A = this chain, B = another copy of it.
Amino acid sequence: MKWYEMQGKDKDVVISSRVRLARNIDGYPFPSRLDEKSAQEVISKVRAAFGDAYTYTDLTALTPLEIRGYVERQEISQDLANAKGPHGLLTSDKSGVSVMVCEEDHMRLQCVMSGLALKEAYELVAEADDVADSALDIAFDEKLGYLTHCPTNLGTGMRASVMMFLPAMTMSRQIQSLSAQLQKLGLTVRGMYGEGSSAEGCIYQISNQITLGITEEETLDKLSKIIDQIVVSERQLRESVGKNDELCDRIARAEGVFRYAKMISSSEFMKLYADLRLGISTDITQGISFEKLDSLLVRVMPANLMLESEQLSADEKQRDKLRAEKIRSIIG
């Protein structure tokens, strides 16, 4: 089961929580300077360390469309998709953890969970980290902590992030000041697909920026407390939604478009998604769950849409039709 198909805490405001750890094996250069042979060695060691519980996917053997599908599902980063040398992905449905191999670091262990579940995600990823640690010689320095390719990851090597749905803050234009405040607290706010992406669908990724001189627990504590506050503020702002006739009309129409349109572009989808998600969270929209709606976030993105419907050469217009069909079939 995918994270977006699961129920989760504070789902009205927090779509998902993610924790990832950057780890490298001692004695090997970072992937950017690994030759082919050494890269294969690193991959073999990582695969061996995680054992049979994990399945390895050699990403270099996949089509660009399949790779794009992984990125859309947020199973791999754009950096891993772009990687030149040998690289792949270890996955384990049972552990809930996946490992990007030879991205910027030798290993990027990650876990995504539905709703607000930073500590739960960390526990799972820490367990997997123990597995790696017991089998591999992990690059670690007493002063600098875990050694990583990018100095911004030195220390814990941990990036914890939550994907938040903040329509009321967006409409009331409080996002800019929130973003500035969070920066002062050592946090980063970005759009759904990471750095530089815009906040389509009122979706924001909030993550820790600091990894050095702070423990994992402190980072998660601090982030969780701030997220809790944002959840409260967003909910307060949403209390007036039902009294706003124009907004109620927009929300109601969004459902009409989802249920009736024959073609929906991705950018229109994101707007309608945001309207409907706000509708569900304010009880204006009935009969559509967060889980169904959030699964669309992945399933109507171009590559996943083409892969799921086996129309691998669909052009934009054909995708707009497939998207409308898919939406109808999922929201039922």
Contact = CB atoms under 8 A, between A and B. Distances in A.
Interface of A: 245-246, 248-249, 252-253, 255-257, 259-263, 317, 321, 324
24 contacts: A245-B262, A245-B263, A245-B317, A245-B321, A246-B263, A248-B262, A249-B261, A249-B262, A249-B263, A252-B260, A252-B261, A252-B262, A253-B256, A253-B260, A253-B261, A253-B262, A255-B256, A255-B260, A256-B256, A256-B257, A256-B259, A256-B261, A259-B259, A259-B260
Contacts of A324: 249
A321 B261 CA distance: 23
A246 B261 CA distance: 10
Contacts of A255: 256, 260
Contact of A256 (B249, B260, B263): B260
A249 B260 CA distance: 8
Contacts of A248: 262
Nearest to A255: B260
Contacts of A321: 245
A249 B320 CA distance: 11
User: Which are the 5 A-B pairs with shortest beta-carbon distances?
Assistant: A256-B260, A256-B256, A249-B262, A249-B263, A252-B260
Contacts of A261: 249, 252-253, 256
A248 B261 CA distance: 9
Given A252-B262, A256-B259, 17 more contacts: A245-B263, A245-B317, A246-B263, A249-B262, A249-B263, A249-B324, A252-B260, A252-B261, A253-B256, A253-B257, A255-B256, A255-B260, A256-B256, A256-B260, A256-B261, A259-B259, A259-B260
A252 B321 CA distance: 12
Contacts of A246: 263
Contacts of A317: 245
Nearest to A247: B262
Contacts of A245: 262-263, 317, 321
